[in-house]
Amino acid sequence: MPPDDPDASRRTLMGGLSAGLFAALATPAVAQSVAPPATAPVSDGPRLSDPRNAYPRPPFPAQQQDPPGLAGAMDPRPDHGEQSYRGSRKLVGRKALITGGDSGIGRAAAIAFAREGADVAFNYLPVEEPDAREVVRLIEDAGRKAIPLPGDIRDEAFCTKLVADAAQAMGGLDILVNNAAKQRSVDHLQDITTEQFDAVFKTNVYAMFWITKAALAHLPPGATIINTSSVNAYDPSPNIVDYAMTKGAIMIFTKAMAKQLAPQGIRVNAVAPGPIWTPLQPSGGQSPDKLPKFGADTPLGRPGQPAELAGIYVLLASPDSSFATGQVYGAVGGRGGP
């Protein structure tokens, strides 16, 4: 048959297509048996953990420290996420200022922020220098800039300087965490001195007001303010009346400022922890006879650890919570809270 016969060409083409189609339909099982596709291995990610037993449970050893206390002197030592927190680049290039960043919740936030990619300035009292040096090392080990800024935030002039020094050292400021607090257990109102009342309010409320006011000159749209309130704003303990009053004020300040700053694109939220194992407790925050059972009355049967709050602060600092403002996030172990 002549090679230019159109019917022959058509028959050849259709035959080839039919053979190819048949092969494609008929051979998958054979192909798989010869070269099975690679199966992604199951990663060794976080395992299920019973929250009741995830951390030490009471009773704890009897212990007392002079205020403000050191994390390094506690038994058991608090977990701030030193070994456990793993970052995922949620805060790359951000610039954070944290008060009370040497220990407790502030330290957990500082570690987490650094491992998420942020530079961190943090305030503490000079007597807390041993804890602060550890935090500097942990931030720098994460490859970020650490700016330790010791001083007493009960002084307005120092608060103003604190913000200016932090912003200058980091080249800006876009995360503010008002976390430092003073707490003193006193069973009867008539035994709360004016000196104590004044110190608690200046540390917990006045400093937050002064620092936030100074920070507003530096915070751009997209910045976040995170205040540490407490379960005591909602379910106050009778032995820390003055402390509970300040935590209620912090909650109200958070909600009011969220409304005021929303038109500027600045979000304001708060975290309300329950009983958390920090130096605040053995340094006068709890009476010595109650400390061994601290946190035992929560439904989970134990106090929380600072590391268990780190993810909440990261969430509120990151764009993942971009529609959240004026909110109070509770982490209370099952009782009280928002």
Predicted pLDDT of residue 21: 37
Question: How many angstroms separate the CA atoms of 18 and 52, rounded?
Answer: 65
CB contact burial 231-267 (16+ within 10 A = b; e otherwise):
bbbbebbebbbbbbbbbbbbbebbbebbeebeeeebb
Q: Answer for the pair 109, 122: CB distance below 8 angstroms, yes or no.
A: no
pLDDT higher for 125 or 46?
A: 125
Indicate if the pLDDT at residue 26 is higher than 60: no
Q: Which residue in 33, 181, 158 sits closest to 102, CA to CA?
A: 181
How far is residue 299 CA from its own chain's centroid?
Answer: 23
Average pLDDT estimate for 41-63: 84
Beta bridge partners of 227: 178, 270
Q: What would the pLDDT profile of 266-312 be if each residue is shown by its tens digit?
A: 999 999 999 999 999 999 999 999 999 999 999 999 999 999 999 99
Beta bridge partners of 328: 270
Indicate if the pLDDT at residue 223 is higher than 90: yes
**Could you tell me what percent of the chain has a pLDDT over 90?**
85
How far is residue 171 CA from its own chain's centroid?
Answer: 23
Q: State how far the alpha carbon of 145 is from the alpha carbons of 121, 169, 225, 312, in Å.
A: 8, 9, 20, 22
Predicted pLDDT of residue 299: 96
Predicted pLDDT of residue 79: 97
**Could you tell me what percent of the chain has a pLDDT over 70?**
86
Predicted pLDDT of residue 29: 38
pTM of the complete model: 0.86
Beta bridge partners of 225: 176, 268
**Token representation of residue 174:** 């876009």
Q: What would the pLDDT profile of 101-120 be if each residue is shown by its tens digit?
A: 999 999 999 999 999 999 99
Average pLDDT estimate for 91-98: 98
- Residue 49 phi, psi (nearest 5): -135, 130
Which of 6-10, 209-213, 295-299 has the lowest average pLDDT? 6-10
Q: How many other CB atoms sit within 10 Å of the CB of residue 171? A: 9
Predicted pLDDT of residue 47: 78
Burial of 38 by CB count in 10 Å (0-12 exposed, 13-18 middle, 19+ buried)?
A: exposed
Q: C-alpha angle 110/111/113, rounded to 5°?
A: 65
Q: Answer for the pair 151, 158: CB distance below 8 angstroms, yes or no.
A: yes
Question: How many angstroms separate the CA atoms of 268 and 229, rounded?
Answer: 12
Domain ranges of the chain: 87-331
Side by side, the strands of the sheet bearing 119-124 are 146-150, 119-124, 95-99, 175-178, 224-228, 267-273, 328-331
Question: How many angstroms separate the CA atoms of 138 and 117, rounded?
Answer: 13
Q: State how far the alpha carbon of 101 is from the alpha carbons of 104, 129, 304, in Å.
A: 7, 11, 18
55, 85, 234, 243: the catalytic one is 243
Q: Which residue in 71, 91, 116 sits closest to 305, CA to CA?
A: 71
Indicate if the pLDDT at residue 14 is higher than 50: no
Q: Answer for the pair 106, 132: CB distance below 8 angstroms, yes or no.
A: no
Structural fold of domain 87-331: Rossmann fold (3.40.50)
Indicate if the pLDDT at residue 201 is higher than 60: yes
Helices (H) and strands (E) in the chain, counts: 9, 7
pLDDT band per the 50, 70, 90 thresholds, residue 31: very low
Indicate if the pLDDT at residue 124 is higher than 70: yes
Predicted pLDDT of residue 16: 47
Q: State how far the alpha carbon of 239 is from the alpha carbons of 119, 192, 200, 287, in Å.
A: 38, 10, 14, 9
Active site residue 55: no
Indicate if the pLDDT at residue 214 is higher than 80: yes
Average pLDDT estimate for 122-137: 98
